[in-house]
Amino acid sequence: MTPEADARLPRAYTTPGSASFVEFLAAHDPGLLPEGRVLPAGDAPVAPHGTTIIAVTYDGGVVMAGDRRATAGAMIASREIEKVFPADEYSAVGIAGSAGLALELVRLYQLELEHYEKIEGSLLSLDGKANRLSTMIRSNLGLAMQGLAVVPLFAGYDLDRGAGRIFSYDVTGGRYEEHDHHSVGSGSVFARGALKKLWRPGLDATGAVHVAVEALYDAADDDSATGGPDPVRRIWPVVATVDAEGYRRVGDDELAALAAEIVAERTAANDARRGVRRTSASNPSDEPRPVPPEDLGDGGARRTDSEGDAP
């Protein structure tokens, strides 16, 4: 019997080597890595896909938000999937693309950062974390070419700079630093348009959360694969802030109040455009009343919910 045969762990587990868990796994048992699996030839089957992720910087930190919908073709595969996760104490990662592979990539990435911290006794820099994620995405290129692409969004608090930073990626592992705000996923084109109008310098954490949720609301309004806040099922986006105090997930009660505030603001703005004055909570049975002509700025035209311009 060899000394290795009666040891608790194989020699590979006790031999000093790289601080990268992915590199260790690739050398010891590459079949456990996503890219180590051989898929049959042909197109990949229809699988759930995660959609819209948003990141917004504010003074002293960054917010990341993701909707809760996953789609499989034209169908809703899940209404409650979570797409925003803590990468470590001072960073967050959001997933878009093939949901199953993306969730596995996140778990492996979390383990990679934890392994480095235990081996080296210190945190990896934010740039180092972004580079590690880039390498892991690049190794998934073979699966991406078969239709199982994963395109995450990474953000975190830079302890050296004292600021929040955002990084985006492509399927080849290309890493790009974004400034102020960014979005990925099927609803990103609509979310980015909203972010350009809503974001402003000097936001605090509360204001940045409001911007992120409102941008998700806009994305859900135009993209069928993005799910907006669902007050009936009490399903809210996953929203997290990352700053000098670390990663913090925003509570559902806070998001419910924020969603109600956004809906109320948009309802009031829409009614103002239509010239309709809503009933108060004390008279819920009243029909919507037209606004008096003297209150209108369009020459006195009057409108109601059910009527066109009154003579």
Q: Which residues are catalytic?
A: 51
Residues with Cβ within 8 Å of 68's Cβ and at least 6 positions away in sequence, in order, are 78, 79, 80, 81, 82, 83, 227, 230, 235, 236, 237, 238
Please state whether beta strands 276-277 and 49-50 pair in parallel, antiparallel, or not at all (unpaired).
unpaired
Residues with Cβ within 8 Å of 102's Cβ and at least 6 positions away in sequence, in order, are 50, 83, 95, 96, 150, 152
Of 150, 208, 218, the closest CA to residue 181 belongs to 208
Residues with Cβ within 8 Å of 263's Cβ and at least 6 positions away in sequence, in order, are none
Residue 301 near residue 309 (C-beta atoms within 8 A):
yes
Tokens (6 digits) for 269: 């703005």
* Residue 96: alpha-carbon gap to chain centroid: 8
